[in-house]
Amino acid sequence: MRRGRRRAGQPTQTGGLDESQTEDVAVADPPLRRMEPVNPRQPIAPQIYERLRRAITTLAMLPSEALSEKELSLQMGVSRTPVREALIRLADEGLLDILPQRGSFVAPIRLRDVEEAQFIRESLEVSVARRLAERRSPRFLAALRAGLERQEAAAASRDRDLFLELDEAFHRGFSEEVGLPKCWRVIQSVKLQMDRVRYLSLPDTDHLEVLLAQHREIAEAVEAGDPDRAGRAMSVHLQEVLRTARTLSRQRAHLVDA
């Protein structure tokens, strides 16, 4: 188990971390998450990939953590070949660094990757929000309001994991409603580094209230049928992660690589 030091700060009104309020806190990095055996009746490599990707994006596996191909294969009861395939795929997505003669390591959260992902995602989702404001349906608006109520309950109970699941559904629902499911698949493929920042920035669940307020503003703009307002609100919301990542690159340089 590694020992490290990280910065702990309070969220500002915009949801980022205020460097003036940070203090050094000693933390113990969690050990490698034990992987359960895979289902042999389903394709093996995709199962391994999904488990490792979730562990990395939720920070169950931290940057610089070493991954043993042999250990993973033993834990999941598979040969090393599908494990190697999954690791290569994760490396292609920027989540792993495979170093010759050294091994595989969880990649740092690279600020340049977060910036590029945010640019792509904002370009797509702002357009989706604008289109949705022009063609929203009563059925969708009712589902949107119900989703916000569930988000409010999750924030009130400080259930971070549930809130982030509902956040995912909130954004996915926009693309699906305007008939652009492939758009969401593209967003999913580029937002992995953004997801890591989200998990890193939410040890203090007060930040959920900031995100919830931004979701309400987006929803109100869509319901009002105002494309310009909806686009602006979505842009502000998606830039939240980028602002946080830039702050974290200064506060937690051992996790976020500027």
Q: Which helix (H) or strand (E) holds 105?
A: strand 103-106
| Single residue among 76, 107, 138 that ends a domain in this structure | 107
Residues 101 and 227 in one domain: no
| Single residue among 71, 92, 107 that ends a domain in this structure | 107
Residues 73 and 128 in one domain: no
Nearest to 229 by CA among 115, 123, 120, 132: 132
What's the chain's length in residues?
A: 258
Residues 253 and 190 in one domain: yes
Q: What is the reported pLDDT for 204?
A: 60
> For residue 172, is it left (φ>0), alpha (ψ between -120 and 50) or beta?
alpha
Q: What is the pLDDT of residues 119-139, one digit of tens each?
A: 999 999 999 999 999 999 999
Range of the domain at 241: 110-257
CATH number at residue 158: 1.20.120.530
| Single residue among 50, 85, 107 that ends a domain in this structure | 107
Q: What is the pLDDT of residues 24-38, one digit of tens each?
A: 333 333 444 567 788
94 and 192 Cβ atoms separated by less than 8 Å: yes
Residues 162 and 205 in one domain: yes
The total number of structural domains in the chain stands at: 2
How many Cβ atoms sit within 10 Å of the Cβ of residue 248? 24
| Cα–Cα distance for residue pair 14/243, rounded to 1 Å | 9
Q: How far does Cα 231 stand from its chain's mean position?
A: 21
Q: Band of the pLDDT at 83, cuts 50, 70, 90? A: very high
Q: Up-side HSE of residue 193: CA atoms within 13 Å toward CB?
A: 29
Residues 49 and 165 in one domain: no
Torsion of CA 123, 129, 134, 136, to 10 degrees: 150
Q: What is the reported pLDDT for 81?
A: 93
Residues 147 and 75 in one domain: no
Residues 208 and 129 in one domain: yes
Residues 134 and 225 in one domain: yes
Q: Is residue 21 part of a domain?
A: no
Residues 210 and 247 in one domain: yes
Q: What is the pLDDT of residues 164-199, one digit of tens each?
A: 899 999 999 999 999 999 999 999 989 998 999 888
9's tokens: 């700060």
Helices (H), the chain: 44-57, 69-76, 80-92, 111-134, 138-156, 160-177, 181-190, 192-200, 207-223, 227-251
77 and 38 Cβ atoms separated by less than 8 Å: yes
Residues 123 and 238 in one domain: yes
pTM, two decimals, is 0.77
Residues 64 and 157 in one domain: no
Residues 171 and 239 in one domain: yes
